[in-house]
Amino acid sequence: MGELRAYVIARDRFCLGQLFDPTHVCRDKWGDPHRPDDLEELTLEHVPSVHGSEDVRRDDEAHCVALCSSLNVGGTPATVRAFARARLREKYPECSGRRIGHG
């Protein structure tokens, strides 16, 4: 998982929450604010291909984004997850629910 996290965070380069809402304030796991591009503070969020519980968690870059802890820990808001899902579909249109590699 460490390699996938490093890849996704290097690809995204900042918290996706900042792109979704420019007024978003990124916060670490203790609630302290940090810059959206502080790569050391970003977390890996798994984004299901579809809304709901019928999708399985996939460990590949087509199903993961970088988020700050405040948006990831405790549950990602549905609006942010839908935004992330649409962004991933634009970036990986060839991925129709199948697993792809990042190496």
pLDDT in tens, 12-43: 999 999 999 999 999 999 999 999 999 999 99
Averaged pLDDT score across all residues of the chain: 87
Q: Which two tokens stand for residue 17?
A: 């929450």
Whole-prediction pTM value? 0.83
Q: Identify the domain containing residue 41 by its residue range.
A: 2-91
For residues 72-91, give the mean pLDDT: 91
Q: Is residue 24 part of a domain?
A: yes
Q: Is residue 28 part of a domain?
A: yes
Count of structural domains, the chain:
1
Provide mean pLDDT across the span 82-89: 92
The helix (run of H) or strand (run of E) holding residue 44 is strand 43-46
